[in-house]
């Protein structure tokens, strides 16, 4: 038993020492928080910490399964407008078509910015998904469209559109996820603040 512990301890120490000796630098502002690890042999290897920044299980475990229900292009407000066409063109590259009522007007810009960073990075780095990223003009049009048709947090009635599972509000779902330990307190408070915007 002593010999086994000695071997495991030595192996763990060697592994930690070798990993900490590697220089780690940000890889071109990758929104996936990838890091460029330079090996002694000179070969570079990107280590992606996940689209959700290393807290994969807590914040984004089963990310696609936790997406709100998708809608069809014809269900978008002003479906023939330039904004609706851009939402359809770019958003469905990675997930279902979102309803503009999924966020408030102030909640859309940070969401669009985060998604755009991912699209920009994936389009530059030969993603196997063949992702295309919007131009600055397209991005402004897309964001303005989503803000124009966003949910009004002061409204007394629920907006029309897809309902959350079992007719629960977003707040109910957030509280349940926090109670189950799926998200930590910091993430819970941030999401709660985002809902108020």
Q: Each residue's pLDDT tens digit in the chain (197 positions)?
A: 555 555 545 544 444 444 444 444 334 444 444 444 333 333 222 333 334 444 434 433 444 445 667 888 999 999 999 999 999 999 888 888 888 888 888 889 998 999 999 899 888 887 777 889 999 999 999 999 999 998 876 664 555 555 556 566 777 777 777 777 778 888 878 888 887 76
Instruction: Tally the domains of the chain.
Output: 3
Give the pLDDT of residue 80. Answer: 96
Per the CB < 8 A criterion, the answer to whether 99 and 162 are in contact is yes
Residue 41 lies in a domain: yes
**Co-location of 45 and 90 in the same domain:** no
Same domain, 139 and 185: no
Are residues 148 and 110 part of one domain? yes
Please give the Cα distance from 27 to 9 (Å, whole number): 32
Domain end: 155, 173, 189, which one? 155
What pLDDT is stored for residue 140 in this prediction? 96
109, 133 contact by CB (below 8 A): no
Q: Would residue 184 count as lying in a domain?
A: yes
Verify that 115 and 139 share a domain, yes or no: yes
What is the Cα–Cα distance from 192 to 197, expressed in whole angstroms?
A: 9
Residue 60 lies inside a defined structural domain of this protein: yes
Phi and psi for 94 in degrees, rounded to 5? -120, -25
**15 in any annotated domain:** no
Same domain, 83 and 62: no
- Assigned domain for 104 exists: yes
The answer to whether residue 10 is domain-embedded is no
pLDDT at 149 (0 to 100): 92
CA angle 65, 71, 110 (to 5 degrees): 70
Place of tokens 């763990």: 12
Based on the fold, state whether residues 90 and 139 are members of the same structural domain.
yes
Which residues pair with residue 4 across a beta bridge?
Answer: none
Q: Quick one: pLDDT at residue 176?
A: 74
User: Which pLDDT does position 127 carry in this prediction?
Assistant: 74
The pLDDT assigned to 104 comes to 86
Q: Which domain holds residue 33?
A: 20-49
Rounded to the nearest 5°, which phi and psi values hold at 187? -65, -40
Residue at 30 is within a domain:
yes
* Residues 150 and 93 both lie in one domain: yes
Phi, psi of 164 (to 5 degrees): -70, 165
Cα–Cα distance measured from residue 12 to residue 1, given in angstroms and rounded to the nearest whole number:
16
Distance of alpha carbon 33 from alpha carbon 89, whole angstroms: 25
Residue 179 domain-assigned (yes or no): yes
Residues 182, 151, single domain; the answer is: no
For residues 172 and 143, state if they share a domain: no
Q: Considering only CA atoms, which of 92, 69, 88, 65 is closest in space to residue 78?
A: 88
Within this chain, do residues 63 and 100 fall inside the same structural domain, yes or no?
no
Q: In what order do the strands lie in the sheet with 24-26?
A: 24-26, 35-38, 44-47
Looking at the structure, do residues 113 and 135 belong to the same domain, yes or no?
Answer: yes
Contact 151, 103 (CB under 8 A): yes
Report the alpha-carbon distance of residue 32 to residue 36 in Å, rounded: 12
102 and 44: one domain? Answer: no
pLDDT at 164: 58
């Amino acid at each position: 038993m002593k010999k086994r512990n000695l071997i495991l301890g030595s192996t763990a120490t060697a592994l930690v020492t070798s990993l900490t000796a590697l220089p780690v630098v940000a890889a071109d502002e990758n929104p996936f928080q990838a890091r460029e690890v330079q090996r002694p042999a000179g070969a570079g290897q990107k280590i992606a910490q996940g689209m959700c920044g290393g807290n994969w299980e807590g914040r984004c475990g089963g990310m696609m399964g936790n997406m709100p229900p998708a809608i069809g292009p014809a269900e978008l407000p002003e479906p023939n407008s330039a904004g609706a066409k851009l939402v359809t063109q770019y958003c469905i590259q990675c997930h279902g078509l979102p309803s503009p009522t999924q966020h408030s007007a102030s909640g859309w810009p940070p969401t669009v910015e985060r998604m755009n960073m991912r699209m920009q990075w994936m389009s530059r780095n030969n993603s196997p998904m063949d992702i295309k990223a919007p131009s600055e003009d397209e991005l402004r049009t897309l964001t303005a469209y989503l803000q124009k048709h966003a949910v009004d947090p002061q409204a007394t009635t629920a907006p029309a559109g897809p309902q959350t599972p079992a007719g629960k509000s977003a707040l109910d779902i957030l509280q349940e996820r926090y109670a189950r330990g799926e998200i930590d307190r910091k993430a819970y408070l941030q999401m709660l603040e985002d809902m108020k915007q």
